[in-house]
Structure formats: structure tokens, C-alpha cells
């Protein structure tokens, strides 16, 4: 029963992301044509706490967390090819914002603050590292996560005397709604970035950064700005998710798997289209929720196998598979006509 | 009027002077050729002018403004556009989008999407690539990729265009077409500096030539002066006494 509810809501999310993708391809903005259906899908998602069992929206919150990490990661790293392993850092900054400010401030303020602190960190890190290309950038962003863990551990033990922190909990439906709100904001931001001239600039940076600079693109400014803007969603997601977990220490707040999984999910889904990372995140996060409870020892193993198979057989991810399939159907139609 | 002026432009790579104290100027509306054997520092000089590298020491002035140390995007927006020795196209974007990047970002003023598309279309027609505008740029032949680079550079509305070996690897017909294209660009009032190894092209289209050798300027003059210069002949063909032995 819960699975059915979750499945319906995941399809609603997929529809919305497909719609964003479709709207991106339209020459003139005719987005209102389909917006009726998008509103219905949003209504399905918003009303879930009223008709679904508690577990269904708790599960959906967990899936949304991965979705937000994956989509915000892919908006920057997809077109530019700068593989950032910093999502765990931005997510963790959100968690610690929650731990420190959660007692005194209302939830929305805490979430917003978590996002803004992530932006500040991303802008700083971006300014010093985005001139590094390829493997250097990857290693640096990964090192950032480890560095923050060490500094935090040192700070906590030296000044507070305890390793972890308690976080003021929030209601499950509240967490779900805020997560959903972050997703909607993320989709709108993604649409606006891809639609704007900066979407084009990001692609040129990925394909030939030197030529892009000589064509009048301020490549450093574009890279830093988009890297920072997309990190706000990771920080906000961390801040709200922390309120479900209630107790955290530096290791669990800056879990490096939250840096790897978005990359894996985006590759699995395929980054050529907007709905690709959404598809990858939805499927893998759903599987994780299921496998984690039923086969706790095998799920990470199966993730590894899936990744290897996808890289070998589906270089464009599930998007590539979907496009191949639709082309074949269209081909058959044309042949029949 | 001098569009571009360089004074004692120097660039060291480690201990090697790739470009050494080169003084140069470019007059408005002329076509200046830059020649020299491989490794003479021609492309390095282009990189210095377009700000991919910063001269040290030395100054470069564009229309009287000292542009030394500016960032490449700024140089482009001021009106200096370039092409690359090995075509640096945006391979996965369509031909049209490649050119649109130039008109969207490179002009220095804020341009609407519709306006940049119009300029891109115009430049594609100018270089003769309008027929393949929807094709991904990676599918073009080498000669078309080089034309695409020219269209992309022209879309930034430059006053000065730097062409780096536009004709390398092209066949006779394509070279002739390129020469004709360069003349048409000049007719638009755009000043051109070109690096080229195809001597026929250099002699045919250039008003003036600068010869570089081991990073130093060894000769400067009209094409006729250059072909008759003993220093240039020596650099390219060796000394007379060598030839006999």
C-alpha cells in the first residue's frame, strides 16, 4: 500500500521534471498549455500526508533529499564537466546550521540560513578551486568534505566536549512540505538557468573553456555563480533533513556517500535531458529505501554493479535508452505511414 | 590610425624567450601577415594580444588603451576576436549555436536572444555555412570548422580579427575560397592580423608582413620586400654557402 502511494507520487515528480524538459525545448514559452496537469501533479504531492500513511511521506522525503542533491549537482556539473564531490559538504553545512540555530529560530529561517551558508562556502571554494580542471578539482572538492569533518571534530572536542549534537525535531509532514518546496524552487531555478544565456555559457565551458573565454564569456564568474547558486538547495535540504535525524556528529553529517550518490544517480539517469537526473535519483533512492531495510548487506554491492553496467552499456544513462526507444517507435510509425 | 600597438612585448616560458622584445603596430583596415618557421613565437604573440597570456615585460595597446593584463573576455568585448590554430569549436553544440555564443556574449553590449540569433544567421550566410546551421559542429569537415571559427569570431562584432593558420590542412580550392573570404572581411572594414604558412595566400592578401624567428622580429615590410630580404631567405632556406655544399 505505501509502495503504491510512493510510486504514484514518484510518477508525479517524474511528470513534472519531464514537463520542465519539454518546456525547455519550446521555442516560444507555451508552458501554460500543460500547466493544468502540472498543477494536478503538484496537488497529488501536496495532499499526500492527508491520504497516505505516515511512512509513505517519510519515504518520499528521503527520496526527495537525493533528488535535490542530484539535480542541483547536475545543473552545474552536467554541462561543465567539472565533477564536484562537494555535495556532502554543502549538505552538512545545512545540518550544522540546523543544529546551532534550530533551538532559537523558526524552521523556515533555519532552512534559508542553511542554504545561504552553503552558498557562501560554495562561492569561497569556487573562487579558489574552479580554475583547477579535471582530476584536481574532483580531489579538492572531496578533500573539502574530509577537511570540514576534521576541523569540526577538533572544534567539538576542544570547545564543547562532546562529539555530536542534538537537533530540535520537526513534524514529519512539515519536513515533507519543505522538501517539496525546495524541489519546486530547484526545478524553477534549473529551468531559468538552462533557458538563459548562462545555460549556453555553461555548455561552452564544458566543451572548450579557452574558446569560451575568447568569445567574451567571463568563465570564472559564470562558474562560481552557478556553482554557488545550485549549492543553496543542498544546504537547505541538509537543514531540513537534520530535523528528522535529531542526533548527528561530524561523520554522519558529512557522510561522503552523499557526495558519491548524486554523481552515480545523475550518470545512471543520464545528463543530456532535464528529467535524466530526476529519473536516476528517483529509481536509485527508491531502491535504496527498499533494499536498505530488506537486504542491508547487498544494496551497496548492487549499486556498484548497476553503475558498472550503465557505464558500459548505457553511456547516456536511462535518457539514452528512452530516446532510443522513442526513436524506434517514431521510426515504426513513419514506416507504417 | 593604429588599431593595435605593441611595445617591447616579451614572454618567457621558463628560461626560453618565446617572444622577445617585439615592437609592432597594426594600421586600421590593413591585413598584416605574421610569418616565421615553426616555434618562432607567432601563436604566442597571438595569445599575448588576445590576453590568453600576459606579456612580461611589455605593453599592448588597443585603440590607444593599454590592455596589458586584461582578461580574455574583456579583450573580446572591446573588439578583438580570434580563431585558433587547431579549431576550438564547441563540438556538441550546433553550428548555429556556436556562432550565437559569439553574438550573445562577445559584443560588449547587452544583446537580446532574438538579436543574437539574427546576427548569427547573418554571419553563417557570410561565410557560407547557412546550409549546415543545424548540424552538430563536430560533424563538420576541417575546412568548415575553420570557417565556423571565423563566423563565430565575426559574430562578436570585432574591429580587429586574429586568424591563426586558417588555411593549414586545406586543399587548393579551399585555400582560394579562404583568401576570397579574408578579402571580403576586410571589405567590411575589419582589420586583420593573420598567421599563415601558405605563402601564396600571404603574398596575395597581405599589405604588410612581419617575420618572426626565435621570438625576435627579424624583418618587416611589404610582401615584395620580404621575399627579397636576405635575412628572411637565410632563415627559411639557409645561407647561400650551405646550399652549395
Tens digit of each residue's pLDDT (9 = 90 or more) over A120-155: 999 999 998 888 877 899 999 999 999 999 999 999
Alpha-carbon distance A255 to A92, whole Å? 8
Shortest distance between the Cα of A59 and any Cα of chain B, in A, equals 38
User: Does residue A30 sit at the B interface (CB-CB below 8 Å)?
Assistant: no
Shortest distance between the Cα of B102 and any Cα of chain A, in A, equals 5
Topology (CATH) of B2-79+158-244: Rossmann fold (3.40.50)
CB–CB contact A213 B102 (8 Å): no
CB–CB contact A207 B72 (8 Å): no
Size of interface A-B (CB pairs under 8 A): 69
Residues of B with CB under 8 A from a CB of A: 50, 52, 71-73, 75-77, 81-82, 84, 88-93, 97, 100-102, 104-108, 113, 152, 156
Residue A293 or B96, more confident: B96
A210: its cell numbers: 579557452
pLDDT of residue B199: 84
Cβ contacts of A212 on chain B, cutoff 8 Å = 90, 101
Residue B76 or A290, more confident: B76
Cβ contacts of A200 on chain B, cutoff 8 Å = 93, 97, 100-101, 104
pLDDT of residue A10: 92
For residues B185-192, give the mean pLDDT: 94
For residues A186-205, give the mean pLDDT: 93
Give CATH 3.40.50.300 domain extents, chain B: 2-79+158-244
pLDDT score of B245 more than 50? no
For residues B194-202, give the mean pLDDT: 88
Q: pLDDT tens-digit profile of A41-74?
A: 999 999 988 888 888 899 999 999 999 999 999 9
CB–CB contact A203 B93 (8 Å): yes
Contacts 24+ apart (CB under 8 A), B140-145: B140/B89, B140/B95, B142/B87, B142/B169, B142/B170, B143/B169, B143/B170, B143/B171, B143/B174, B143/B177, B143/B178, B145/B87, B145/B89
Q: Considering the entire predicted model, what is its pTM?
A: 0.90
pLDDT of residue A30: 64
* Domain harbouring A68, CATH code: 1.10.3470
Residue keyed to cell 579583450 = B75
pLDDT band (50, 70, 90) for residue A291: confident
For residues A9-31, give the mean pLDDT: 84
For residues A80-103, give the mean pLDDT: 93
Residues of chain A with pLDDT > 90: what percent? 56
pLDDT of residue A169: 84
Cβ contacts of A195 on chain B, cutoff 8 Å = none
CA distances in angstroms from B120 to A26, A300, B126, listed in the order given: 20, 49, 10
For residues A198-222, give the mean pLDDT: 93
pLDDT of residue A337: 53
For residues B186-207, give the mean pLDDT: 90
Residue A207 or A327, more confident: A207
For residues A270-283, give the mean pLDDT: 93
CA distances in angstroms from A216 to B105, B128, B175, listed in the order given: 5, 24, 29
Domain that holds residue A290: 2-336
Q: Report helix, strand and coil shares of chain B as percent, to nearest 5.
A: 40, 25, 35
Closest CA to A230 of A336, A130, A97, A101: A130
Mean pLDDT of chain A: 89
Question: What domain count does chain A have?
Answer: 1
pLDDT score of B187 more than 70? yes
pLDDT score of A32 more than 70? no
CB–CB contact B76 A214 (8 Å): yes
Q: Among A195-204, A214-223, B172-181, B222-231, whose mean pLDDT is lowest?
A: B222-231
Name every residue whose Cβ is closer than 8 Å to that of residue B207 and which is 6 or more positions away in sequence.
B30, B31, B32, B222
pLDDT score of A175 more than 80? yes
CB–CB contact A216 B88 (8 Å): no
Mean pLDDT of chain B: 89
- The residue of chain A nearest to residue B72, with distances taken between CA atoms, is A214
Shortest distance between the Cα of A214 and any Cα of chain B, in A, equals 5
Shortest distance between the Cα of A206 and any Cα of chain B, in A, equals 9
pLDDT of residue A316: 87
Alpha-carbon distance B134 to B137, whole Å? 9
pLDDT of residue B123: 94
Alpha-carbon Rg of chain A, whole angstroms?
20
pLDDT score of A181 more than 70? yes
Cβ contacts of B107 on chain A, cutoff 8 Å = 216
What is the largest distance, in Å, between two alpha-carbon atoms of chain A? Answer: 76
pLDDT band (50, 70, 90) for residue B207: very high
For residues A273-292, give the mean pLDDT: 90
pLDDT of residue A23: 87
Residues of chain B with pLDDT > 90: what percent? 59
pLDDT of residue A115: 96
Amino acid at each position: 500500500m505505501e509502495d503504491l502511494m510512493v510510486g504514484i507520487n514518484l510518477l508525479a515528480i517524474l511528470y513534472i521534471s519531464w514537463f520542465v524538459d519539454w518546456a525547455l525545448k519550446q521555442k516560444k514559452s507555451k508552458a501554460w498549455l500543460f500547466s493544468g496537469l502540472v498543477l494536478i501533479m503538484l496537488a497529488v504531492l501536496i495532499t499526500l500526508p492527508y491520504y497516505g500513511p505516515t511512512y509513505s511521506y517519510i519515504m518520499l522525503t528521503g527520496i526527495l533529499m537525493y533528488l535535490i542533491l542530484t539535480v542541483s549537482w547536475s545543473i552545474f556539473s552536467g554541462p561543465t564537466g567539472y565533477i564536484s564531490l562537494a555535495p556532502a559538504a554543502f549538505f552538512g553545512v545545512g545540518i550544522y546550521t540546523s543544529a546551532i540555530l534550530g533551538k532559537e529560530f523558526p524552521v523556515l529561517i533555519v532552512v534559508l540560513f542553511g542554504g545561504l551558508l552553503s552558498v557562501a562556502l560554495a562561492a569561497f571554494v569556487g573562487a579558489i578551486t574552479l580554475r583547477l580542471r579535471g582530476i584536481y578539482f574532483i580531489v579538492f572538492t572531496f578533500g573539502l568534505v574530509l577537511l570540514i569533518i576534521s576541523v569540526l571534530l577538533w572544534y567539538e572536542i576542544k570547545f564543547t566536549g562532546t562529539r555530536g549534537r542534538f537537533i530540535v525535531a520537526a513534524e514529519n509532514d512539515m519536513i515533507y512540505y519543505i522538501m517539496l518546496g525546495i524541489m519546486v524552487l530547484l526545478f524553477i531555478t534549473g529551468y531559468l538557468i538552462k533557458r538563459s544565456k548562462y545555460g549556453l555559457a555553461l555548455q561552452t565551458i564544458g566543451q572548450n573553456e579557452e574558446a569560451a573565454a575568447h568569445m567574451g564569456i567571463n568563465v570564472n564568474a559564470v562558474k562560481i555563480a552557478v556553482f554557488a547558486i545550485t549549492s543553496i538547495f543542498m544546504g537547505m535540504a541538509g537543514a531540513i533533513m537534520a530535523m528528522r535525524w535529531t542526533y548527528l556528529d561530524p561523520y554522519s553529517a558529512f557522510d561522503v556517500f552523499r557526495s558519491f550518490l548524486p554523481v552515480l544517480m545523475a550518470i545512471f539517469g543520464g545528463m543530456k535531458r532535464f528529467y535524466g537526473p530526476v529519473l536516476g535519483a528517483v529509481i536509485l533512492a527508491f531502491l535504496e529505501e527498499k533494499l536498505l531495510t530488506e537486504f542491508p548487506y547487498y544494496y551497496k554491492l548492487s549499486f556498484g554493479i548497476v553503475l558498472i553496467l550503465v557505464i558500459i552499456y548505457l553511456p547516456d544513462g536511462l535518457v539514452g535508452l528512452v530516446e532510443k526507444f522513442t526513436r524506434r517507435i517514431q521510426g515504426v510509425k513513419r514506416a507504417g505511414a | 590610425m593604429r588599431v593595435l600597438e605593441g611595445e617591447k612585448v616579451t614572454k618567457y616560458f621558463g628560461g626560453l624567450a618565446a617572444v622577445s622584445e617585439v615592437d609592432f603596430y597594426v594600421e586600421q583596415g590593413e591585413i598584416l601577415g605574421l610569418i616565421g618557421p615553426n616555434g618562432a613565437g607567432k601563436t604566442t604573440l597571438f595569445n599575448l594580444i588576445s590576453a590568453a597570456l600576459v606579456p612580461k615585460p611589455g605593453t599592448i595597446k588597443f585603440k590607444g588603451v593599454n590592455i596589458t593584463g586584461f582578461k580574455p573576455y574583456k579583450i573580446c568585448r572591446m573588439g578583438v576576436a580570434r580563431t585558433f590554430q587547431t579549431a576550438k569549436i564547441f563540438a556538441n553544440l550546433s553550428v548555429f549555436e556556436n556562432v550565437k555564443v559569439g553574438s550573445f556574449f562577445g559584443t560588449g553590449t547587452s544583446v537580446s536572444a532574438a538579436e543574437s540569433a539574427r546576427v548569427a544567421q547573418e554571419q553563417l550566410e557570410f561565410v557560407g555555412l547557412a546550409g549546415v546551421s543545424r548540424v552538430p559542429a563536430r560533424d563538420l569537415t576541417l575546412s568548415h570548422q575553420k570557417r565556423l571559427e571565423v563566423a563565430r569570431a565575426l559574430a562578436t562584432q570585432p574591429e580587429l580579427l586574429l586568424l591563426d593558420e586558417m588555411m593549414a590542412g586545406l586543399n587548393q580550392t579551399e585555400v582560394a575560397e579562404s583568401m576570397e573570404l579574408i578579402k571580403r572581411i576586410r571589405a567590411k572594414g575589419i582589420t586583420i592580423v593573420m598567421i599563415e604558412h601558405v605563402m601564396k595566400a600571404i603574398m596575395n592578401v597581405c599589405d604588410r608582413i612581419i617575420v618572426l624567428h626565435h621570438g625576435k622580429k627579424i624583418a618587416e615590410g611589404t610582401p615584395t620586400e620580404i621575399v627579397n630580404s636576405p635575412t628572411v631567405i637565410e632563415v627559411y632556406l639557409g645561407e647561400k654557402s650551405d646550399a652549395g655544399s
